[in-house]
Homo-oligomer: A and B are copies of this chain.
């Protein structure tokens, strides 16, 4: 399969998701910036500032060239020309009752025959809603199960470990799925087409996962307390992205396009020294949920 087929599909995914998100927001429109990478390739960054999506980015990129030594060393690879394409999304909603969502689907190959797919979807509710958490994980499980029975348990655990704010000892949200270096497998059990089919299914699931949650909660009542908590949780999101997220570090470290990399940061965030939610409050209950290895599909929040 030619790499252009994959990048073309991803560019169309970006377009499709943007259209659906604009319709869901009902007011905001995506603004697109085209950018070029000095070493080869480039991308299209799209950002929306809407009535329900306070700040959202849906980025596409397809870059190529000689791999910087810094990167090939980090990846444990021989230096060679490479090609990388992907779509990256982060949406920060206006209403604190709507969760933050992140998705990334990507493909990488080198001229020495190495190739792999990677990506993931994870959800960061400001307030954990049991039913939504269950639906979210059920939908992800279904997408995974359609492709391989081991995908969901493995990628769910991977997300728990990846989206972890280590210095806070809490997960970024309720996890989701995360996967990387999906290649032909140790015993050639996967074709590139099969892996790509899975990636496509993940990409296509995004709107079906997020838009109903947005619709359900975009007009939920909230006050100053909920808005304040949203700002504090966004502060944690900033901490994760700038301190621990490998994609962000990698991008900033290799002179990527800063504004596209940091489109994941929230419009407004807050830090308060030693903030502790009131025991028994919804904020405290949410915080208590932000741990690894929770089975969200059968879990019940007290």
Contact = CB atoms under 8 A, between A and B. Distances in A.
A273 interface: yes
Interface in A244-295: 249, 252, 255, 258-259, 261-263, 265-274
Contacts of A55: 271, 273
Contacts of A47: 273-274
Interface string A61-80: 00000000000000000000
Contacts of A249: 243
A118 interface: no
Given A166-B252, A231-B268, A259-B274, 6 more contacts: A47-B274, A168-B258, A235-B265, A239-B262, A243-B252, A268-B271
Given A238-B242, A252-B243, A268-B231, A274 B168 contact: no
19 contacts: A47-B274, A55-B271, A167-B255, A168-B258, A231-B268, A235-B265, A238-B242, A238-B269, A242-B243, A243-B243, A243-B252, A259-B273, A259-B274, A263-B273, A265-B271, A267-B272, A268-B268, A268-B269, A269-B271
A57 interface: yes
A197 interface: no
A36 interface: no
Contact of A271 (B33, B267, B273, B274): B267
A274 B239 contact: no
A28 to B, nearest CB: 12
Interface residues of A, number: 32
Nearest to A46: B273
Q: Taking the full assembly, how many copies of this chain does it contain?
A: 2
Given A238-B242, A243-B242, A252-B167, A57 B265 contact: no
A164 to B, nearest CB: 13
Interface of A: 33, 47, 49, 55, 57, 166-168, 231, 235, 238-239, 242-243, 249, 252, 255, 258-259, 261-263, 265-274
A261 B168 CA distance: 12
Nearest to A268: B270
Contacts of A235: 265
A274 B33 contact: yes
Contacts of A167: 252, 255, 258, 261
Contacts of A266: 271
A269 to B, nearest CB: 6
Contacts of A259: 273-274
Q: Which 8 A-B pairs have the closest CB atoms?
A: A242-B242, A265-B271, A167-B252, A47-B273, A167-B258, A268-B270, A242-B243, A259-B274
